[in-house]
Every structure is written in structure tokens, then in C-alpha cells.
Chain A
Amino acid sequence: MIEFKLPSLGADMDEGTLLEWRVKPGDAVKKGQVIAVVDTAKAAVDIECWQDGTIVELLAEVGQKMPVGTVMATLLEAGEKSLPSLPASLPQGERGGSQLPSPLAGEGLRERGNAPAQRRMISPAARKHAAEKGVDLDSLTGSGPHGAVILADVETAAAQGAAAASRPAVAATTEVPSAEKGAARIAAMRQAIATAMARSKREIPHYYVSEDIPLARALAWLQTANSQRSMAERLLPAVLLLKAVAVTLRGYPELNGWWRDGSFVTAERSNPGVAISLRQGGLIAPALLDAGSKPLTQLMQELTDLVQRARAGSLRSSELTDGTITVTNLGDQGTQTVFGVIYPPQVALVGFGRIVERPWAEDGGLKVLPVVTASLAADHRVSDGHRGALFLRELAELLQHPEELDKEAS
């Protein structure tokens, strides 16, 4: 019998919360196979099994927080036979006649020696409704007889989930108790994205413009700047692009703000929302507050912190509601161009594709330069394509003078 223990995933990890089991008793697992997802202080992490075997019993429950080293599951090694008797953890009452008064209580236990020790009582109607609504039964507390999860519990949870999905931004993912993470969180996130994006395409008349921006000067400047910085302080191109957007927006207030109740409200500061994709699927766009007036070093620190906290689901609500524009940066993994969908009530989205070397004609000659394609999706109710085009041209020009961006800081 193998005991599978919660591994330490770094010097700073001393406990984790089980978000999801990817296996069930009886499953054969291979070395390297992901068998669980655990939320650490920083992010949800896929936990791999380090040995071939067959799952016997899942001891940790979804939502359970446990110290590193806790036995999460037991496995049989290849060739090892199942124990002839029931696991010792089964309550005595389940070995003979059931002591529980309800016929549901002991369901299946006596026949299934390998089942988890405590089978929860969940009514068939609750199971069916939960499946339809995408409600995670493990996150529910039963209010029925003998603590059974009944239909009303699922309906309450589904109603709360729907209410969360209708709140502005993807705020459903903030401050969720750990027990409700996992499937319910993913379902709520998907619902929130669906609601926001459908509303965007339904209500916002998008127009799109794009511009190829040579980045030779910007990247050269970054390289120089980074050569004097420690590894932890190095600047990424993304932070330069974010800063450039925030600064350029000062001259284009019609792109920076919110469409509310039939009219446009300009934002005083520019808080670009940074689109961050999450490991378990979905994305979130928390804002870098007042990015235009912060030094690049500070902005870099804040961006790193924001990404980590977004993935750990520990964002502050202001970061989710105060974005004045969204910036999506596909980075190294992306395509060259992205056409964004505006995140209401914002009125614009700036997209950066992958930085690639391309042939570039300049000063009567042909060069090979790193180039990024910047696009703007904007709300035609508020601004026109001409102004949108001017914004991108000005952004391109600003990025030819990266030192100006750093100067802005001081």
C-alpha cells in the first residue's frame, strides 16, 4: 500500500487546499499523471503522482486545507492485491446492519469496500439539479434529514452562483471560501465571462484599427536598463507597453472610461485592466491602478503581484471594478494580432500580439526588426475610427522613445 502525501511545491509552501480530485477509487494511475489540483498560497497547482498504481481510497476531501505531508490518498502498487477486509476507517455501524435510520445513509457502503469512508447523503433530485446547474455538490452543506443534501440546498447555491455571475467584472472569483473553489468556481467564472462578453457584443458597436509598431529601440533600451538590474527587478516588454498605453490615453479621454446609463463618463486616471488567463480556464482582468503615473520598476512589481494574486484568486475588489480600459497582451505564446472584445462598461481594448522579427522598410532601406502589432477595439458610440487611429499612431511614436516612459515616472 502506497500513501500519497501532499508534496511541498516550494520553500514557501507549508499547506495546501484540495480543489479537485482528478481520479477516483479504482483508477489506475501512471507516474507523472495529474491526480489532484491543490490551491497553494499562490496558485492552483496540478499535483502529479510519482509512482504507478491503483487508487484505493481518497482520504482528503475537496475544500480541505492540510499541511504538507498529509496522506491524501492510498494506492495499491502494481501487482498488490486488494485487502480482503473493509478499510479500517469504515465506521463499525456500516459493517453489519446500518445504524443510520435512513435507507440512503448506508447506500452502497457494504458492497463497496473501497469507497471513501463517508459517503455523503445527496438526494437524486439534488444530484440531477446540481448537474444541470453546474453546482459543486462537495461545496454544499446539507439541510435535509440527517444532514442530507437536498434540492433546496442546490437551488440556494445555484441562486447565489447566478447572483455572483451578474455582478460587475468577474468578482465572483474574489474572496470565495476555499470550500467553494474547484468546479463551482470554474462554472461561475465561465458564466461571468459569458454574461459580460455577450453583453459587449450585443450592446457595443465595436470598430477596430491596428498598427505595426517597431520595437527595436524599446527592446534595446529595455536590455540596457535590465543589464543594471537584478533578476527579480528586470522589466518585461509587457510593462513598457502597458505604461505607453496609459500615458498615451491622457490625450484620448474618449477611450478611457465607462459607458454608463446611456452616456460616457471619462475616468480621471487610467487604470488599464490586464487580461490574465487562469490555469483552470477562464480569464480575469484586474486593473493596474493609475499606471500612467507610476515608475516602470513599481509597475513591474505590481504587475507580477497582480498576476500571482489573480491566479491564487486573492484579488481586491477595487482591482476588478476600477479598470478604465483593458490591455490584452498575447505574449510569446500568441498570434501576431488580436482583435479584442471590449469589457463593459469600458469603451476600449488595446491588444498586443507576439513580438516577432519582421522585414521593415525605414529611411529608404530594408531591415529586420522586432515588431508588435497593436490593435484597438473601441466603442463607436463614444469615439470614431479617426481618433482611434491617431491614438495608435501616438502610441507607436511614444514607444520609439522608451526613455520618455521612464522619465514620466519621476
Chain B
Amino acid sequence: MSRKLSYREAMREAMHEALSKDPRVFLMGEDVGRYGGTYAFSKGFLDAFGPERIRDTPLSELGFVGAGVGAALGGLRPIVEVMTVNFSLLALDQIVNSAALYRHMSGGQFSVPLVIRMATGAGRQLAAQHSHSLENWYAHIPGIKVLAPATIEDARGMLAPALADPDPVVIFEHAGLFNMEGELPDDWTVDIASAKVRRTGKDVAIITHGGSLPKVLAAAETLAADGVEAEVIDLRVLRPLDTATIAAAVAKCHRAVVVDEGWKSGSLAAEVMARIVEHAFWELDAPVARVCSEEVPIPYAKHLEDAALPQPEKIVAAVKEMLG
């Protein structure tokens, strides 16, 4: 059996469950309480759990992420919501220099069981300061796990293991996915360690994550109509990367396209390509290709924004050029 729900509802259910099950869990961030959350993920939570556990914060990412680090060190299990990854740069010091390092700096005496959720990505005409994809900045840092739920199941299931993890976990939720609806099976199981094959194929492996997954799946359908069977890999976990699953898909298909909404220079796509070359070079039948965002600030105008982002047509074109 399964039931239908949206990504937003799945995430809301996951938080509701965590808050209900464990009194150490609390939610903190801008507008999470009285407003019900910028994206309405915590609508009704203030009434249900009270102002101690659903805490509105001032507009200071440095301050409230730091408070989250302190709460985690003190034994709580904070969920800190940052409105977008763009704003999280104000909290980079807390995340990179504090949360990620305390286990190391304390010789294993302190751990920081902190979950930071943040929206990422473009596609909603929110202009450059609200639209970038900087997952790769965090995926670069030892000491934290980085997750990118792109399905209803992962939106529902990734929070619990993230909270159970003794170290900081950053969860990237692509804003373009929030209204996506899908079936959640009753017997879902979710890990935060592996990449998943979302579609099986044999001609080309398309490796992606987050908001690009639906675009890749749409491109795969278009390709299938032309007789090209694409295998679609959803990375899910951006740090540590599941290299084995990536290499296996390349070994199977002998061609790979990486789709990443980040800019290509220094991107997560670049890292995935490097892993492919390191671990599956002799399986390659064509140079690895990638579809990334154009290297410009994401524009406000709809047609320019669409043109700047990976789109199914661009993915199809990349695959076809590769096939010759």
C-alpha cells in the first residue's frame, strides 16, 4: 500500500514525528514559529509543541546556527532551518569552523549532533541572492554529512537518521521540489549512505541530485522514445559520495553525463567526473559530459532563468552528442 503526499507534507511529517518522539529535538530558524515556516514546513507546530521547541530567531544566521551548535554540544538535538543556502554563507564559520571541527579539535570528547536544513536552487524567479546551488561548498568539508533528498520517500525518511547521526548533517531541500507530489509506500526504508538507481538503463548513466532529478527523469523518457535507455543515479548523499554505485553505473553503460544545478567550475559535477575517471576509466566509451548552470548569477527574468539552468532539452542534447 502507499499514499499520496507532497514533498512539503513529507518533510513536515518527518519533523512532526521527530519532535513527537524525542523531547531533545527542537526547531529553530527565521519564521518557523508564528509564520509557520517560510515554506510552511512547520505550520501549526508552534501550537502543537510550544515556543520552547519551535523558536523564531532574529535575522542572524551566524547567531542562531551558533546557538544550534551550542545546544547540540549541550545534549539537545536541534533542527536549524536556514531560509536558503545563499544566507547560510553568514553561518559558514559556525558550520565549517565549529560544528565540523569540534570532534577533531576536542580529541573526540565533543560531538555536534546538529541538523541544518536549508533550501537551495533556482526556478522560482527569486533572483540571484535566493537562487544559487552551493551544495558543493559543504560537500567539500570533512566532518559533516551532506544530504539532498529529491524524492517523497527521502523527504519523509532522511531526517530521522540525520538526527540520529552523532555529527553535523546538512540537508539541502531544493525549493523546486516542495510542491511535487508522489506516492509514499507504507514500507519505505531510507538510509543516508548510498546513491540510488532511480531508473535502469544501459546506454548512458546520468548522475544527478536534488532538484535536477525530475528533469533528468523527464529527459530519460524523451531519450527512451528515441531508443536510448538512460540509467539515472540519484546521489542523495553528497558527502560522503557513494563512489561504488557511480562506478557500477558507468561500468554498465560506458557513458556518463553528470547533471548539477551548480556552476561547473569547481562543482560537485566536477568531483563526480573525477571519481569516474579514477574508478571507471577503462569502462568509458566516451568523454564524460556534464550539464550545469550557465556561469552567471541566476537571472530574475523567467526566460533567462530557464536558459541559465539545466533543462531536460539540454540533458537530451548532451546525451545525443555523446552517442554521436
Interface residues, chain A, CB within 8 Å of chain B? Answer: 102-104, 123-128, 143-146, 148, 150-152
**Which of B254, B321, B323, B324 sits near A125, CB closer than 8 Å?**
B254
Q: Is B242 an interface residue (CB 8 A)?
A: no
Q: How far is the CA of A123 from the CA of B284 in the complex (A)?
A: 6
A–B pairs, 7, beta carbons within 8 Å: A103-B287, A123-B254, A124-B281, A125-B284, A125-B285, A145-B321, A152-B285
Q: Is B39 an interface residue (CB 8 A)?
A: no
Interface size class of B (residues with CB under 8 A): 10 to 19
Q: Nearest chain A CB to B47's CB is how many angstroms away? A: 58
**A124 touching B282 in the complex, CB below 8 Å, given contacts A104-B287, A151-B254:** yes
Closest to A144 in B: B324
Q: Nearest chain B CB to A147's CB is how many angstroms away? A: 9
Q: Nearest chain A CB to B306's CB is how many angstroms away? A: 25
Q: Nearest chain B CB to A127's CB is how many angstroms away? A: 7
Q: Which residues on the A side are within 8 Å of B324 (C-beta)?
A: 143-146, 148
Closest to A102 in B: B287
Contact call A144/B287, Cβ cutoff below 8 A: no
Contact call B287/A150, Cβ cutoff below 8 A: no
Contact call B282/A144, Cβ cutoff below 8 A: no
Contact mask B273-311 → A, CB, 8 Å, 1/0? 000000001111111000000000000000000000000
Contact call B283/A124, Cβ cutoff below 8 A: yes
Q: Which residues on the A side are within 8 Å of B285 (C-beta)?
A: 123-126, 144, 150-152
Return the 5 tightest CB-CB contacts between A and B, nearest first: A145-B324, A125-B285, A128-B282, A123-B285, A151-B285
Q: How far is the CA of A329 from the CA of B232 in the complex (A)?
A: 62
**A125 touching B287 in the complex, CB below 8 Å, given contacts A143-B324, A145-B321:** no
Q: How far is the CA of A145 from the CA of B283 in the complex (A)?
A: 17
Q: Nearest chain B CB to A349's CB is how many angstroms away? A: 44
Closest to A154 in B: B285
Q: Which residues on the B side are within 8 Å of A123 (C-beta)?
A: 254, 284-286
Q: Which residues on the B side are within 8 Å of A124 (C-beta)?
A: 281-285
Contact call A150/B283, Cβ cutoff below 8 A: no
Q: Which residues on the B side are within 8 Å of A143 (C-beta)?
A: 324
**A145 touching B322 in the complex, CB below 8 Å, given contacts A102-B287, A103-B287, A125-B254:** yes
Q: How far is the CA of A114 from the CA of B321 in the complex (A)?
A: 32
Q: Nearest chain A CB to B170's CB is how many angstroms away? A: 33
Q: Which residues on the A side are within 8 Å of B323 (C-beta)?
A: 145
Q: Nearest chain B CB to A386's CB is how many angstroms away? A: 59
Q: How far is the CA of A102 from the CA of B284 in the complex (A)?
A: 14
For the complex with contacts A144-B324, A150-B286, 20 further pairs of A-B residues with Cβ separation under 8 Å are A104-B287, A123-B254, A123-B284, A123-B285, A123-B286, A124-B281, A124-B283, A124-B285, A125-B282, A125-B283, A125-B285, A126-B285, A127-B282, A128-B282, A143-B324, A144-B285, A145-B323, A151-B254, A151-B285, A152-B285
Q: Which residues on the A side are within 8 Å of B286 (C-beta)?
A: 123, 144-145, 148, 150
Q: How far is the CA of A144 from the CA of B324 in the complex (A)?
A: 6
Q: Nearest chain A CB to B215's CB is how many angstroms away? A: 24
Interface residues of B in 235-292 (CB under 8 A from A): 254, 281-287
Q: Which residues on the A side are within 8 Å of B254 (C-beta)?
A: 123, 125, 151
Q: How far is the CA of A126 from the CA of B324 in the complex (A)?
A: 16
Closest to B321 in A: A145
Q: How far is the CA of A125 from the CA of B323 in the complex (A)?
A: 14
Closest to A101 in B: B321
Contact mask B6-41 → A, CB, 8 Å, 1/0? 000000000000000000000000000000000000
Q: Which residues on the B side are within 8 Å of A102 (C-beta)?
A: 287
Q: Which residues on the B side are within 8 Å of A145 (C-beta)?
A: 286, 321-324
Q: Which residues on the A side are within 8 Å of B287 (C-beta)?
A: 102-104
Closest to B254 in A: A125
Q: How far is the CA of A387 from the CA of B323 in the complex (A)?
A: 65
Q: Nearest chain B CB to A125's CB is how many angstroms away? A: 4
Q: Nearest chain B CB to A295's CB is how many angstroms away? A: 60
Q: Which residues on the B side are within 8 Å of A150 (C-beta)?
A: 285-286
Q: How far is the CA of A408 from the CA of B295 in the complex (A)?
A: 91
Q: How far is the CA of A151 from the CA of B322 in the complex (A)?
A: 13
Q: Nearest chain B CB to A107's CB is how many angstroms away? A: 10
Q: Which residues on the B side are within 8 Å of A125 (C-beta)?
A: 254, 282-285
Q: Which residues on the B side are within 8 Å of A144 (C-beta)?
A: 285-286, 324
Q: Nearest chain A CB to B292's CB is how many angstroms away? A: 16
Q: Which residues on the B side are within 8 Å of A127 (C-beta)?
A: 282
Q: How far is the CA of A148 from the CA of B282 in the complex (A)?
A: 15
